[in-house]
Amino acid sequence: MCGIVGYIGKKQAAPVILDGLERLEYRGYDSAGMAVYDGSRLQIAKSTGRLNVLYNHTRGGEALPGFVGIGHTRWATHGMPNDVNAHPHVNKSGTIAVVQNGIIENYLALKKKLTDKGYEFVSDTDTEVLAHLLDYYYNGDPRKTIIKMIGHVEGSYALGIVFADHPDVLYGVRKECPLIIGVGKDEYFMASDVTAILKYTRKVVYLNNLEIAELREGGMEFCTVDEDKIEKETVTVDWDVSAAEKGGYEHYMLKEMMEQPKVVRDTLSPRIKKGEIVIEELAMTDAELANVKKIFIAACGSAYHTGVTAKYIFENLARVPVEVDLASEFRYRDPLLEKNDLVIVISQSGETADTIAALRMAKEAGCRILAIVNVVGSTIAREADFVMYTWAGPEIAVATTKAYSAQMAALYLLAMKLAKVRHYLHGRKQQAMLNDLMKLPEQIELLLNNREEIQRIASRFIAAKYVFFMGRGIDYAICLEGSLKLKEISYIHSEAYAAGELKHGTISLIEEGTLVAAVSTQPSLYPKILSNIKEVKARGAVVLSITTMGNIEIEKESDYVITLPESNPLFFDSLAIIPLQMLAYYIAVGRGCDVDKPRNLAKSVTVE
């Protein structure tokens, strides 16, 4: 969840590190720091708050001259956000500096051991333990020292390490948490995410678990914890550098919302050929796919919400049973997995810790794993049996928008493919669905162009204390995501409810002026949701309805109405979510919230 950047080469390291950390701000952080070797010793600078505090403190990096260094943005897990707890952490003599992303699970036992041997701690972090542990085992050979340290550390982590005795080498270590190496001309980079170094290079190396990188100006070496040297493949990243910039928009979130027509088109188009869905990445024969008896979907956050929608679609269209779990719950409920079940894991980053754990458990049970991810070369992408990439490009805002829409597009394709091989979808019905599917990018664009109407509605609810979302079936799944968007960026308490549950307690919370967003896109459920709208209206609620064109009765009962273009009912998630994203965005902007970097949140949750 934190961000790591390292550099070694001919450039001044500090400005490069600051630039990389700025591009990792979306991951969430509360403090930042750097360590740079200045030719004689390690210079440390750390600051609480936004990165510009560190930038000003170091005069844009000029105050820390040197050609090798490490930097870090911290999201507090052990100890309050302050200058002392900020990374990097060093040993007593200041000759070893370390930054960490992750959690050291046995740090208290290690801390006691080191304290008993005379080591003194100044911070409350688990990371300081690593600095002193490296000092304790240091024998003049950094590689052997790192390997010795790893043997005593439990947890998940990515580390950047600099030794003042060996200032010509930058070290990186990875276990579970992501760490990539960027390859330049006589220079090397280290980062938690490729977006940090796209400005400098597109050539990267992905570290695997328990691998160590040694980076020198003249080359790089990799080894395992058994000191076996390994050759690593250099991969070229094809993301456009401008995709990680704001491009003139006020916020990354707004830019990414506006990119949704393109990312949905990019996810759909290559997989529809001559009127047929072709998912080459699936690498399963039609017979194997048709023989799938059960599907499990495991994901977190917004990705989980796409899975909830997918359950309705898969079961309706392909008549195959589907279970959807929060990945953090999946492995603890001891699911009844069978050898040939298909497990779909969904993650934007491909590094979500709970989702990785769910994947591994399912794999041990003999299930086939299909990953829907956005980041090429991520842990989930490498460990799954099959991968459907969503081609959304870098998503910087913490609250996902375009990655969510791309995931939905991938799931539509998968559901239709499964329905075809199981003989539930063919002929005119298939063609009609494909036509509706290919219209989605254009329809999303139409809804985005109506954002002034959403902004007008949002302006009336900036002071709302709580908001409720209600729907049935797929509409309930849409409400889950709409509610999450609002609460995570505006800090307004909001909840999503299956509308039929209102009578079972929730309706007691409705009072005069309460905003209720009612999603109604499923024709068979119109009469039911209409009754629910009347129920909340009778108790003083203000109703915003997201519904289809021509739904006159619901329009009459609602205070505000946003109408959606005609489409197949199974695809309405991709349309209804657009005004809900914009509603959350404009309410948050109106409240003065930091839309791209909401408090306490991180983009990629790489620890449990």
pLDDT band at residue 169 using 50, 70 and 90 as cut-offs: very high
Record the pTM: 0.75
Between the alpha carbon of residue 424 and those of residues 157, 277, 290, 421, 475, the distances in Å are 46, 14, 11, 8, 23
CATH 1.10.10.10 fits 247-447, yes or no: no
> SS3 for 546?
strand
Q: Which CATH class is domain 3-237?
A: alpha beta
Cα–Cα dist 563/56, whole Å: 48
Cα–Cα dist 174/164, whole Å: 21
| Greatest extent of the chain over all pairs of C-alpha atoms, in Å | 78
Q: Percentage of the chain surpassing pLDDT 90?
A: 61
The answer to whether residue 608 scores a pLDDT higher than 70 is no
> What is the phi/psi pair of residue 125, to 5°?
-85, 160
Query: What string of DSSP letters covers 126-143?
Result: SHHHHHHHHHHH-SS-HH
What angle (nearest 5°) sits at the alpha carbon of residue 537, between those of residues 531 and 538? 90
The answer to whether residue 275 scores a pLDDT higher than 90 is no
> SS3 for 24?
coil
In the block, which residue shows the tokens 């109408």? Answer: 563
pLDDT given at position 377: 79
Domains of the chain, by residue range, sit at 3-237, 247-447, 450-593
Task: Count Cβ atoms within 10 A of the Cβ of residue 353 and give its class: 0-12 exposed, 13-18 middle, 19 or more buried.
Answer: buried
Tens of pLDDT, residue by residue over 534-551, are: 988 888 889 999 999 888
Cα–Cα dist 139/343, whole Å: 47
The continuous run of DSSP H or E covering 74 comes out as strand 68-74
Over residues 575-589, mean pLDDT: 95
pLDDT band at residue 509 using 50, 70 and 90 as cut-offs: confident
Q: Are 247-447 and 450-593 equal in CATH topology?
A: yes
Tens of pLDDT, residue by residue over 330-342, are: 888 888 888 888 9
CATH 3.40.30.160 fits 450-593, yes or no: no
Cα–Cα dist 212/229, whole Å: 10
Over residues 90-113, mean pLDDT: 92
Print burial letters for 93-121: b (CB count within 10 Å at least 16), e (below 16).
eebbbbbbbbbbeebeebbebbeeeebee
Tens of pLDDT, residue by residue over 116-144, are: 999 999 999 999 999 999 999 999 999 99
Q: What is the dihedral of CA 176, 373, 358, 206, to 10 degrees?
A: -20
Positions annotated as catalytic residues are 2, 603
Cα–Cα dist 22/73, whole Å: 9
Lowest mean pLDDT among 306-320, 362-376, 407-421: 362-376
Tens of pLDDT, residue by residue over 394-448, are: 888 889 999 999 999 999 999 999 999 999 998 899 999 999 999 999 999 999 9
Mean pLDDT of the chain: 90
